[in-house]
Structure 1
Amino acid sequence: MSRQIVLDTETTGLYAEGGDRLLELGCVELVGRKLTGNNLHLYINPERDSHEEALRVHGITTEFLRDKPKFAEVARQIVDYIAGAELIIHNAPFDVGFLNAEFARLKLGRVSDHVSGVVDTLVMAKELFPGKRNSLDALCDRLEVDNSGRTLHGALLDAELLADVYINMTRGQNALMLDGDDDSVSEARRVVRVDLSQYVLPVLRANEAELAAHASVLAQIDKASGQQTLWKIFEPVA
């Protein structure tokens, strides 16, 4: 069965290329689209303070992180955990960018070297709900995922919420995820052939009142368009 890791991070700021660091990692494992409970949650000493704006978002202080392991101490644990899995991330370039920067410091390659692929749920949401707000909170509200416990951002909680959001957004794919030997798949593949030539389909013709109502609507549309409707071309000549 396919293994997927729903992943979220918290960071000291917005710019990995500017020296901001990763300080929390939350991962939730799905196997065959089901939660396994084999999650990974790490607080990491980022070796620098968080920007005030970031601190207001996640509330994780430098003092709290002071005795936590540095990224170099947990890097192999992270690489082993995500190995071969498909990552599911909301706004993937942000989180992947921070992981790539951390990996680069340790000469561990890039995230893409260790996983089978990355799914960006923000891109999915924009395709499913164009023109609407597609933050994690907005998607939870839209898809009826309970996020009442989310006051501050936290990597593990956000990953758990995103797992529910992802499953809801892709629920129609369930049939595609079944094993090939499943009885339900075999049942779905059975084709029942019906000879339709034995049926005579009735033709229901419009009565005078329905024809008059139809003609009235067409006349209104024609008037509103300045007598530019194309169907008049095909009207039979009286």
Structure 2
Amino acid sequence: MTDKTPLVDMIRHLRTSLAHLKANGCTGFDCSPQGLETLAHLGVPLSAGPAGQETLETIRADLGDCTRCPLCRSRTHIVFGEGNPGARLVFVGEGPGFEEDQSGHPFVGAAGQLLTKIIAAMKLSREEVYIGNIVKCRPPGNRNPQPDEISRCLPFLKRQLAAIRPRVVCALGKVAAQTLLEVDTPISRLRGHFHEALGVPVMPTFHPAYLLRNPEKKRDVWSDVQQIMKMLG
């Protein structure tokens, strides 16, 4: 009997790639050099798990030593994200800072220490949640990531969320919230209630770095976090 496993795997990979392309607005095939370059920048999945479901490991392998945007020129490490691959709760920040760029781990500086305390107050640990960012390389001077940098990196975050399949996403700060929700509404108006993005409830709240400068806003964040805790049950 002929072994059909390679063919089945190829079909699964093709289906995953087509679904990813559709989610990113591609509606047809373009095999020109320019079209193929566009597909490469979108981070089209090259492999998946045995059931056609991507894993964080295969997504990281596809990302490789990324040079898709200019941020690669000044980074020390790619900060892919880390935590429980089956987490019910995912925190998404803006991008790595100095400490994160040096270590390769997300949220390890002063803002990260505050996030760790927030997670502990939720009766959770960093090992139980997943923490990532909109962009995976540090913008110079910790400036906001630019639209073209976000567009190159966001497909990989979307794939990470699809692989994790969390119950809730907490968007930390303006850039994360506006990017995930595809709006330009101020974070002060977005926070406080759930929105939906990529089929997942998203709770925007203030970034921990903002709380370090404005500690009076911690009460607002705790209110947002309590709503997340209630949804997680």
TM-score (norm 1): 0.29
Largest Rg, 1 or 2? 1
